[in-house]
Structure 1
Amino acid sequence: MRFSVRHQTIYRYSAPVRLAAHALRLNPRPDAGVLVSRVLAIEPEPIFRGETIDRFGNLVTRVDFAGLSEIFRIDSRFEVDVAPAPAPLGEPPPALPWGSDTRDPNAAFLNGDDADGAVRAFARKLAVESEGDALPFLDRLNETLYRDIRHDIRPEGAARPPEETLALGHGACRDVTVLFLAACRSLGIPARFVSGYQAHADTPDGRRHLHAWPEAFVPGLGWRAYDPTHGVEVSDGHVALCAAPNQVATMPVEGGFFGEGVTCNYPPSCLLPLATGRDV
């Protein structure tokens, strides 16, 4: 699947401001696929621009500015070829639950403290129904969240606590993702938050939005990606921008501005990723 993406973000200020240094996470992850082309246009022109790979393997563009501006515009365009995920191979993983080890290279993705009693009970029930088998558990968790958690569009705000989403029975993709992570981690399965795009978006408002989904690490098989918002395993219909232990570390634009009494007009409609996918 070839993705053609244009993602525009526009901040407008009530008076000229001095922009702080920013981190932009709008590049496909190096392991997301084969990059065909990429352009990242920024207004005003940065005085410094550099790219780094962060500790979670994400490509981050760092920029700094001089002078004053009444607008901050970011226009990201890229094309990337994404291949279907390989079928699981290797020895069956041990039965759930798994123990935790701070020396584990995936320990950063294994904080079980984000699951309260209700979430733990929910995860244990699914694990018992899956006879302690990790892959059937992940499939069942994905299907259950798709069936039982109604999908909302919520343009603003951080992901809700997982127990709140479980109790409400509805949430945005980021809320469902955080609930999936908490359920996995409560059983010792490392899991991470992924931000990116989905080619065949099916949203109640018919518009394109940044999407979120979880990945779980299974020994011998590596990271396995699921989309509980749509009830599918992630394959070539998704392209990842960023993966991290939590939503905060995947924010597409991170930074601020200096200006006393200045307000920023940043309606949700400014953030319109236009992602299309086609088979190649």
Structure 2
Amino acid sequence: MKLKVSHLTRYEYDREVSYSPHLIYMRPRDSALLRVNHFHFNISPDSKIVWTRDYYDNLLAWAHFWERSATLSIRAEFEVETLDTNPFDFILKPYAFTFPFEYEALHKFNLTPYITPPFDETQAILRNWLDEHFVDRPKETLPFLVALNTLVHQTLTYNRRYEKGIQPSTTTLALGTGSCRDYAVLFVELCRTLGLAARFVSGYLYDPSPDSAAYGAMHAWAEVYLPGAGWKGLDPTNGMFCDDSFIPVAHAAIAESVNPIQGSYYSPDPVPSKLAHSIIVEKIT
């Protein structure tokens, strides 16, 4: 599938301010299943862009500003071709056919940041929730993951929160509601509690329905490491394995690590500000 994305974030202040270097996660993650055919930044005020890789090997841009301005505008426009039409096109290693399984020693070491379980108190709450709601657990690994993903999707009510940050997983369970990033963090922590390596993913989803959770916004989901298959995306917000409608940008063990735009502004006095954004994901025919 060929997709075109336009992502604009605009900050407005009531006077000119100075800006720290801004870290930007907006460029999609190239792979054998995703080709970035075009990418362009349009940033005002003028900035110097330095491309680097972070500790998760995500591609990120540092924007260095020299001018003061009352407006900061960051627009990313790109075209991609996604090829993951069948997310179940893999063969698990025999020891991972059924769950629970134990990762090989080398895999377990390399996966340490993604397999480390939550704090004991959080684990206890998650285990109690699983014992109450996830009773008839499939024995085979793939049906197990499908059932867990479906459970989270069907149990929670989606709410496009506009508050900053991510809810703790226990808060999401207590409220029974959350945004896509809250669903993703809950699913990641449930997987780690069960002994599965999992990580948070930020990106875009093509879903033209105005009622979609991803319509006009970035999207978040999870990836689980399966021996023989590698990292496989699961989206608990929509209750599905990730296919060619998904455009991953960045992944991390800690969700806040890959907030799309990270930076500060400076002023000798308090300055009121406004934030506006626009995200359009279109299919190219």
Fold equivalence (TM over 0.5)? yes
TM-score w.r.t. length of structure 2: 0.89
Matched ranges for 1:114-125 at <5 A: 114=119, 115-123=122-130
Residue identity in the other structure for 1:27: R
Question: Offset at 1:125?
Answer: 6.3
CA RMSD of aligned residues (A): 2.3
Q: Which residue of 2 aligns with 1:144?
A: 151
Matched ranges for 1:1-280 at <5 A: 1-31=1-31, 33-46=34-47, 48-84=48-84, 85=87, 87-92=89-94, 93=96, 95-96=99-100, 98=102, 104-114=109-119, 115-123=122-130, 129-200=136-207, 202=209, 204=211, 207-267=215-275, 270-278=276-284
Question: Offset at 1:63?
Answer: 1.6
Inter-CA distance 145–91: structure 2 relative to 1 (3 Å threshold): same
Question: Offset at 1:52?
Answer: 1.1
Task: String of CA shifts for 1:106-140, please: whole Å, max 9, x gaps.
Answer: 21112212543121233456776334433222111
Q: How many residues align?
A: 276
Q: Distance in 1 between matches of 2:75 and 2:272?
A: 18
Unaligned ranges ≥5, structure 1: none
Unaligned ranges ≥5, structure 2: none
Question: Offset at 1:82?
Answer: 0.4
Question: Offset at 1:223?
Answer: 0.7
Q: Distance in 1 between matches of 2:195 and 2:64?
A: 40
The percent of aligned pairs where both chains have the same amino acid is: 26
TM-score w.r.t. length of structure 1: 0.90
Residue identity in the other structure for 1:39: H
- Judge conservation of contact 2:43–2:73 (CA < 8 Å) in 1: yes
Question: Offset at 1:271?
Answer: 2.0
Inter-CA distance 126–105: structure 2 relative to 1 (3 Å threshold): farther
Question: Offset at 1:86?
Answer: 5.3
Residue identity in the other structure for 1:218: L
Q: Distance in 1 between matches of 2:92 and 2:222?
A: 22
